[in-house]
A and B are shown apart, each in its own frame.
Chain A
Amino acid sequence: MVLAREEARWWLVSVPVRVATLLVAFLAVVAGTVFMVVHFLLGAGGPATVDFTSAASGGQVNVVLQEDAQNSVSSRPDWVSYFVQDPQTKQWVHTTLFKVPANTRVNMTILGYDGCTPLRNNFFSQVEGTIGNTVSLQQFKDTGKPLGPARNYSVVNAWSHCNVGHTFAIPQLRVFVPVASPNAQLSANSLCGDSPCTSGPYSLEKFSFMTPKSGGEFRWQCFVPCGGGFLDGNGGPMQTIGFMTGFMTVAS
């Protein structure tokens, strides 16, 4: 029996080796946990948050977005995407996270460079939750010349004239805004191909809404199924923060 036990010891490792192995395994678990927390929870390496709180004055703040058919700044160049303009540098930031003050009138401007896609539910053609329940809309040619004067609309019919490219919606605040596309025939022929777009036909849409009196995180999203290549257009950019959905942080 003694001999058998001694023979069996050939596979046993020394105490220092066992301790070292345990230590390495422990450190690997700790490193994995730290990576998960930093990368996914704290958002390190994710889309940046554009801060508009210091740009607010007189109870108002101006926020400018653009939506493009593709993007040249990510590992998913074929994904449709929003961009946010930094209020200080005026540079376009590839993100869908922005911060605004509480109890403030947000004057939103959206430049629509992407072509039209009929809505799945045309109810979202209706403007809801903006001040006056309308948007101001003007379409431009690729030469920069307007196709007509800016007009106010309470409905931008996505199924008529192929008018809507995407939507900007903050459901918890009941803000639902159809974002017009450039003229259908123009965008079909000369859509902007390099984002953030500075050329090509586009629509210019303006509207305002009030932020709540207290702070919080409010998700916003597009209701056009614009995730091309995904089942019913609902995957990809539709479900990825930094592309067609994000958060509006309201600072109290």
Chain B
Amino acid sequence: MAAQQAAPGQAEPRHGLRIFLIWLVLALAADLVIWFVWAPHMPPGDMTDSARHQQFDIAVLSVTGAPVILAVWVYFAYALIVWRRRPGDEEDGPPIDGHTGISLGWIIGTTVIVLAAFVFGTVELVVPAGAGAGEGPAPIWKISGITTTAWTPGTKDILQVQVIGQEWWWIYRYPQFGGFESTQLYLPKDTPVEFHVTSLDVIHSFWPYRLGVKADANPGVDNVAYTKPEQLGPFVVRCNELCGIWHGAMYNAGNVVTQAAFQKWATSVQAKEQQDGLIAALPPYALTYDPTVIPQLGKDLVKVTGITGGNGYYYSGPQAGTPGPPVSP
């Protein structure tokens, strides 16, 4: 064993120093490669502030974790090579005694690492307004900006977007633009965005991966998440909660555009849906989008026996763009 490795009259090599030096070189090389080569390509990218923070978090954790992993691997490899059993070596290994310094160093070192990770994680959760995660109906960490009923480009207005999951598609509602809805998620660059995520049926999960946002869509719940797009370009919104036969196909496209382009798109869709009568046919803006909202619309209701949907209720209108009133047979 180790004590018998040195030739007679020769001093035992300083194994600890050897291991430390090998580890130091490898750890330094690994951290430099991780930070400068790998980190810029780490998920989820840097399209938004929350995504950028997540990418930074993963990079920091990787740089922190690589030396720890290498310490284990280097020690393991060194032991396998240097302290392996030689032919004819039948002696037992040396007794292992406690070492106060090593024990103390281990406890202090791991404590420092864990506490540092706790502080770092907390800061990275608070600073980017919840780190893009759903914070529930009463968010603690809110994004910086002004909450208004009408969004204006070039200001610090927060854009509100209601995300509505339904088997099996996402619909987006823009309450600051008359409450129009769209199958496409358009967002303006350099604008704080406040998502209100909800579901009309089962549990879904709103996951625009490149935006660094992920929030569960629960029926009857307003789950708020924040982000701020910092780059132009397309992204994909997926469902990340197994929700039925077409869960895998529940994805659609989004796009971060300039504030002027967003304003133009939003006003044009709003105008079209207003002209078609769709906005008038939608329920009043509500954060949870109650599926039983029909009786709450304040319109004159009609009930027909034999119709199960909406408990047999519908309203008699008139509404723009609909077929004529019920006709007697």
B109 smallest CB distance to A (angstroms): 52
A126-B273, A232-B202 in contact; A141/B329 too (CB < 8 A)? Answer: yes
The answer to whether B200 touches A188 (Cβ under 8 A) is: no
The answer to whether A160 touches B245 (Cβ under 8 A) is: no
A159-B294, A234-B244 in contact; A153/B329 too (CB < 8 A)? Answer: no
> Chain A: how many interface residues by the 8 Å CB criterion?
59
Q: Chain B binding site: helix, strand, loop or mixed by DSSP?
A: loop
The answer to whether A171 touches B252 (Cβ under 8 A) is: yes
The answer to whether B327 touches A185 (Cβ under 8 A) is: yes
The answer to whether A239 touches B245 (Cβ under 8 A) is: yes
Name the residue among B282, B317, B323, B324 with the largest chain A CB count within 10 angstroms.
B323
The answer to whether A123 touches B321 (Cβ under 8 A) is: no
The stretch that binds A, out of B62-70, B225-233, B308-316, is: B308-316
**22 pairs of residues in contact across A and B, judged by CB atoms under 8 Å:** A118-B309, A118-B313, A121-B171, A123-B181, A123-B282, A126-B278, A139-B323, A156-B321, A157-B322, A159-B315, A161-B324, A161-B325, A162-B307, A162-B310, A163-B323, A171-B183, A180-B323, A185-B329, A186-B329, A187-B306, A221-B168, A240-B245
- Which of B201, B297, B305, B315 is the one whose CB lies under 8 Å from A120? B201
B285 at the interface (CB under 8 A from A): no
Contacts of A99 in B (CB 8 A): none
In the bound complex, how far is the Cα of B325 from the Cα of A161, in angstroms? 6
In the bound complex, how far is the Cα of B169 from the Cα of A120, in angstroms? 13
**Restricting to A163-202, which residues have a CB under 8 Å from any CB of B?**
163, 169, 171-172, 174, 176, 180, 183-191, 201
A154 at the interface (CB under 8 A from B): yes
Work out how many contacts link A and B, with CB atoms closer than 8 A.
162
The answer to whether B200 touches A185 (Cβ under 8 A) is: no
The answer to whether A153 touches B322 (Cβ under 8 A) is: yes
Contacts of B106 in A (CB 8 A): none
B165 smallest CB distance to A (angstroms): 10
Contacts of B305 in A (CB 8 A): 188
B258 at the interface (CB under 8 A from A): no
B244 nearest in chain A by CB position: A239
The stretch that binds B, out of A15-23, A33-41, A223-231, is: A223-231
A125-B278, A184-B307 in contact; A162/B323 too (CB < 8 A)? Answer: no
A90 at the interface (CB under 8 A from B): no
The answer to whether A176 touches B183 (Cβ under 8 A) is: yes
Interface residues of B (CB under 8 A from A): 164, 166-169, 171, 181, 183, 200-202, 219, 244-246, 249, 252, 273, 276-278, 281-283, 289, 291, 294, 297, 302, 304-310, 313-329
The answer to whether A161 touches B326 (Cβ under 8 A) is: yes
The answer to whether B315 touches A121 (Cβ under 8 A) is: no
In the bound complex, how far is the Cα of B297 from the Cα of A123, in angstroms? 15
In the bound complex, how far is the Cα of B321 from the Cα of A122, in angstroms? 14
The answer to whether B167 touches A238 (Cβ under 8 A) is: yes
The answer to whether B327 touches A183 (Cβ under 8 A) is: yes
A116-B314, A188-B305 in contact; A223/B326 too (CB < 8 A)? Answer: no
Chain A 199-237 against B: per-residue CB contact (8 Å), 1 yes, 0 no?
Answer: 001000000000000000001010111001001101000
The answer to whether B329 touches A234 (Cβ under 8 A) is: no
In the bound complex, how far is the Cα of B200 from the Cα of A149, in angstroms? 35
B302 smallest CB distance to A (angstroms): 8
The answer to whether B317 touches A160 (Cβ under 8 A) is: yes
- Which of B277, B278, B307, B321 is the one whose CB lies under 8 Å from A115? B307
A154 nearest in chain B by CB position: B276
Contacts of A137 in B (CB 8 A): 323
B130 smallest CB distance to A (angstroms): 27
A114 smallest CB distance to B (angstroms): 10
The answer to whether A116 touches B322 (Cβ under 8 A) is: no
The answer to whether B316 touches A161 (Cβ under 8 A) is: yes
- Which of B219, B277, B278, B306 is the one whose CB lies under 8 Å from A123? B278
In the bound complex, how far is the Cα of B245 from the Cα of A241, in angstroms? 9
B193 smallest CB distance to A (angstroms): 20
A117 at the interface (CB under 8 A from B): yes
Contacts of A188 in B (CB 8 A): 304-307
Contacts of B329 in A (CB 8 A): 141-142, 183, 185-186, 189-190, 201
A117-B307, A126-B278, A185-B326 in contact; A160/B316 too (CB < 8 A)? Answer: yes
The answer to whether B249 touches A163 (Cβ under 8 A) is: no
